[in-house]
């Protein structure tokens, strides 16, 4: 099952449940259709709010210490929750159920082409806010839909390899830049382990659990197991990387991530680490500050053609 099919099925289940609840409430109150419709919609929103709040609660239990400069007050915390909830609702209920992977090749392209790689349980519709910025900047780009949804992260490596070379062939560029959210960043690192780094100028990760997340134990699938805290798959991935490979990575993350916990799991030794505060996990793909940081990294076109030398870092850094 693809993420698109899964999200459509979940959306239908939610709508059906909302309909049943709305009908029951309308009947109990001897009210009309409009009242039942509103009651069902409110019930659905409340359930989704509870799920989002529970994610924040669970991540708080395993949270890393928030640096002073990134601490937020109650008003900012409310804004954080609202932005994360809105992004989750919009992506999962609108853009991702409708999305199909594709590419846009700018005839007068500026800079290197960009391959967009989504995270766990998502698809190419996650990039609905970044794509217009790439178009406005005349940056050619392509998206992927990773499948199977619950497969091993290693299963996604051939899809990245195909996507990279298709983008290179379509643009004539010498290298690509990969922008990846969450699990997608681990898939990009696994792709570099398998195929080297000659074809990539930079890998920009957003909220990627480079050392795993405590919430992965609640996920399903081989990929969720691989994202458990400093597990064997993550340690083997880290040991395979040379300092030159790490230097190609920019890790953008939030100290208030509600899925990656501890949040410092996104810090990667040898990479360029850019920390933010007051942004949730899903909202990383929609937040203006994060998108500006991504566009700035793309404008810099950091990274040169790389050495294939592999000097494994000690332990699991």
pLDDT the model gives residue 202: 97
Tell me: pLDDT of 305 over 90: no
pLDDT reported for residue 84: 98
Between these two residues, 29 and 64, which has the higher pLDDT value? Answer: 64
pLDDT tens profile 44-92: 999 999 999 999 999 999 999 999 999 999 999 999 999 999 999 999 9
pLDDT beyond 50 at 309: no
The two tokens of residue 66 are: 């928030």
Q: Shortest CA distance to 85 belongs to which of 47, 33, 43, 114?
A: 47
Q: What is the pLDDT of residue 12?
A: 95
Structure token pair of residue 23? 């009908």
CA 211 to chain centre: 15
φ and ψ of 136, to 5 deg:
-65, -30
- The predicted-structure confidence for 122-174, as pLDDT tens digits, reads as follows 999 999 999 999 999 999 999 999 999 999 999 999 999 999 999 999 999 99
With DSSP H G I counted as helix, E B as strand and the rest as coil, what are the percentages for the chain, rounded to 5? 55, 10, 35
| Tens of pLDDT, residues 181-194 | 999 999 999 999 99
Task: Count H helices and E strands in the chain, helices first.
Answer: 11, 7
Q: What is the DSSP string of 251-290?
A: EEEETT-SSSSSGGGG--TTSEEEEESS--TGGGGT-HHH
Asked if the model's pLDDT at residue 288 lies above 80, the reply is: yes
Please report the pLDDT score of residue 315 as a whole number. 46
Domain residue spans in the chain?
A: 1-307
CATH topology of domain 1-307: Rossmann fold (3.40.50)
pLDDT at 1: 78
Q: Contact, 113 vs 139, CB < 8 A?
A: yes
pLDDT digits (tens, 9 = 90+) for 97-130: 999 999 999 988 989 999 999 999 999 999 999 9
pLDDT band at 230 (very low <50, low <70, confident <90, very high): confident
């Amino acid at each position: 099952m693809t993420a698109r099919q899964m999200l459509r099925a979940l959306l239908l289940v939610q709508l059906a449940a909302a309909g049943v609840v709305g009908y029951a409430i309308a009947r109990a109150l001897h009210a009309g259709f409009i009242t039942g419709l509103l009651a069902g919609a409110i019930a659905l929103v409340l359930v989704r709010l509870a799920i989002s709040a529970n994610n924040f609660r669970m991540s708080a239990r395993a949270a890393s210490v928030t640096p002073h400069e990134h601490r937020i007050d109650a008003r900012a915390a409310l804004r954080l929750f609202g932005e994360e909830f809105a992004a989750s609702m919009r992506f999962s209920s609108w853009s991702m159920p409708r999305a199909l992977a594709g590419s846009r090749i700018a005839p007068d392209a500026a800079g290197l082409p960009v391959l967009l790689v989504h995270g766990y349980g998502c698809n190419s519709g996650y990039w609905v806010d970044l794509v217009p910025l790439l178009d406005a900047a005349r940056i050619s780009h392509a998206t992927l839909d990773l499948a199977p949804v619950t497969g091993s992260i290693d299963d996604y490596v051939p899809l990245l390899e195909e996507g990279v070379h298709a983008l290179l062939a379509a643009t004539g560029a010498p290298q690509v830049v990969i922008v990846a959210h969450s699990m997608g960043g681990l898939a990009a690192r696994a792709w570099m382990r398998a195929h080297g780094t000659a074809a990539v100028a930079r890998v920009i990760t957003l909220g990627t659990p480079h050392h795993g997340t405590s919430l992965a134990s609640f996920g399903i699938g081989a990929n969720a197991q691989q994202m458990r805290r400093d597990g064997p798959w993550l340690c083997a991935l880290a040991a395979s990387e040379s300092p030159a490979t790490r230097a190609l990575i920019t890790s953008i993350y939030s100290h208030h991530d509600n899925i990656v916990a501890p949040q410092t799991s996104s810090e990667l030794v040898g990479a360029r680490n850019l920390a933010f505060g007051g942004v949730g996990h899903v909202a990383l793909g929609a937040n203006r500050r994060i998108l500006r940081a991504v566009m700035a990294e793309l404008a810099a076109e950091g990274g040169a053609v790389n050495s294939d030398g592999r000097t494994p870092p000690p332990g699991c850094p």
